[in-house]
């Protein structure tokens, strides 16, 4: 049997490469003859830089920038082997994992550090930037990024706004006179794992604000702030950016980038799948099964997450897909129409989240052993 193992990371526990190794170990333990093709994936969130650089070649740079809470953090930039393309993750400089749970509040976080990474990429001579939008701690519409790149924001009295989300309520004018001139020749590819608009019931604040620590009353405030922000952005851009699918990605960073620069939104997982030439491997007709997975499979998985992205590609070639997950969330049944045949939770029983996360390597391997045994039984059952 030939199996492709193509998971995302189990966030907070294990990177995608290690997840693939654990699953492969379980299958090989049951059947040493099985051929496992390990292809760790990402969708624009954590791990995207390593996935891309690992496939097409290049180098990793580490820079000290402003973290989401305003404190210094170290973050990576991937410089591809052409020395013109940079890969940057919002999660690296402005990510939720950089904020302790007790301090999570999107009214207090900034995307400034991601802007500083973009400047660092410009210093390296890059004119193409793949910006991964997953895993942000922010809900500032890219306000921090734009300020770092030289955009100036003023209120009606002509006072320049500070880098605070609530300052957006006073925003009246945007000045591009101090924008870094090198950005005129830069093409941005916004690698996105969601298609949410900027505002409204399916917008950045309503859907993702609570995950970033926003209380119920703060969600409404954040949505109103982004709505006012969009009014001013749209006056500059000349179109309704808030209605663009994906404009709400990364707390609205996509909206800010789309209005100010030569930028386009694309599916993060589709970019990674293309770079890794996964379709070419599937098209050969030699693969019997594809195993994917991530920390949670839920209703949002159909909106651009790795398991569904790779399952759709496998479905095109009639290859069955099984998804391993740490948790089956609300709406998970939606993935069954997208190529995933079965969802397998890896936890052996009722256990705490911390216990599950600390033993994820063991659980992944043991789950692979069980699935492998079931597949062998299934091969013996006649129709």
Give per-residue pLDDT as tens, 21-33.
Answer: 999 999 999 999 9
Q: What are phi and psi of 61, to 5 degrees?
A: -115, 145
Residue where a domain stops, chosen among 251, 269, 287:
269
Residue 29 phi/psi, 5-degree rounding, is -60, -40
Which pLDDT belongs to residue 369?
Answer: 96
Whether residue 318 is found in the same domain as residue 346: yes
Supply the CATH number for residue 318's domain: 3.40.50.10350
Domain ranges, residue 298: 2-41+277-380
Residue 146, C-beta contacts closer than 8 angstroms, at least 6 positions apart: 115, 153, 256, 260
121 and 179 together in one domain: yes
pTM as predicted: 0.84
Contact 92, 137 (CB under 8 A): no
Do 33 and 127 share a structural domain?
A: no
In which band, very low, low, confident or very high, does the pLDDT at 271 lie, cut at 50, 70 and 90?
Answer: confident
Q: How many residues does the chain have?
A: 383
The residue out of 230, 249, 269 marking a domain boundary is: 269
Domain match, 104 and 228 both: yes
| pLDDT value at residue 382 | 67
pLDDT in tens, 96-127: 999 999 999 999 999 999 999 999 999 999 99
Residue 45, token pair as written in the block: 């969130």
Tokens encoding 84: 């013109």
* Cβ neighbours for 289, distance < 8 A, ≥ 6 positions apart: 1, 2, 3, 4, 319, 320, 321, 322, 375
90 and 141, same domain (yes or no): yes
CATH label of the domain that carries residue 60: 3.90.1510.10
Q: What pLDDT is stored for residue 230 in this prediction? A: 96
Q: What contacts 383, CB < 8 A, 6 or more positions away?
A: none
Q: Is the pLDDT of residue 291 over 70?
A: yes
Residue where one domain finishes, among candidates 269, 289, 322: 269
For 21-25, 62-66, 183-187, 191-195, which range has the lowest pLDDT when averaged over its residues?
191-195
Cβ atoms 73, 64 nearer than 8 A? yes
Q: Are residues 283 and 237 in the same domain?
A: no
């Amino acid at each position: 049997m030939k199996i492709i193992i193509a998971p995302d990371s189990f966030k907070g526990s294990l990177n995608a490469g290690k997840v693939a190794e654990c699953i492969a170990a379980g299958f090989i333990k049951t059947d040493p003859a099985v051929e496992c093709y390990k292809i760790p994936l990402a969708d624009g969130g954590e791990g995207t830089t390593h996935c891309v650089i690992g496939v097409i070649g290049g180098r990793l740079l580490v820079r000290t920038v402003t973290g989401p809470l305003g404190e210094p953090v170290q973050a990576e930039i991937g410089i591809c082997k052409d020395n013109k393309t940079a890969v940057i993750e919002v999660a690296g400089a402005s990510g939720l994992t950089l904020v302790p749970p007790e301090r999570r509040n999107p009214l207090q976080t900034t995307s400034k550090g991601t802007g500083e990474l973009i400047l660092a990429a410009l210093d390296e001579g890059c004119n193409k930037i793949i910006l991964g939008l997953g895993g942000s701690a922010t809900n500032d519409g890219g306000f921090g990024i734009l300020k770092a790149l030289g955009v100036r924001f003023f209120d009606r009295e002509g006072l320049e706004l500070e880098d605070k989300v609530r300052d957006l309520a006073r925003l009246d004018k945007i000045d591009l006179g101090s924008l870094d001139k090198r950005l005129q020749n830069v093409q941005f590819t916004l690698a996105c794992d969601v298609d949410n608009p900027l505002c409204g019931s399916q917008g950045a604040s309503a859907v993702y604000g609570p995950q970033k620590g926003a209380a119920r009353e703060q969600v409404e405030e954040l949505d109103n702030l982004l709505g006012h922000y969009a009014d001013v952005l749209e006056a500059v851009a000349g179109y309704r950016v808030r209605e663009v699918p994906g404009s709400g990605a990364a707390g609205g960073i996509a909206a800010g980038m789309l209005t100010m620069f030569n930028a386009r939104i694309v599916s993060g997982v589709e970019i990674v799948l293309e770079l890794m030439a996964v379709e070419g491997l599937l098209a050969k007709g030699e693969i019997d099964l594809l195993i994917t997975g991530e920390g949670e499979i839920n209703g949002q998985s159909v909106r651009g997450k790795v398991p569904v992205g790779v399952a759709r590609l496998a479905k095109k070639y009639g290859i069955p897909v099984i998804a391993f997950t740490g948790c089956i969330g609300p709406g998970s049944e939606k993935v069954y129409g997208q190529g995933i045949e079965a969802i397998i939770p890896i936890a052996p029983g009722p256990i705490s989240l911390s216990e599950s996360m600390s033993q994820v390597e063991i659980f992944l391997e043991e789950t692979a052993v069980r699935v492998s045994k079931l597949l062998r039984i299934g091969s013996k059952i006649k129709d």
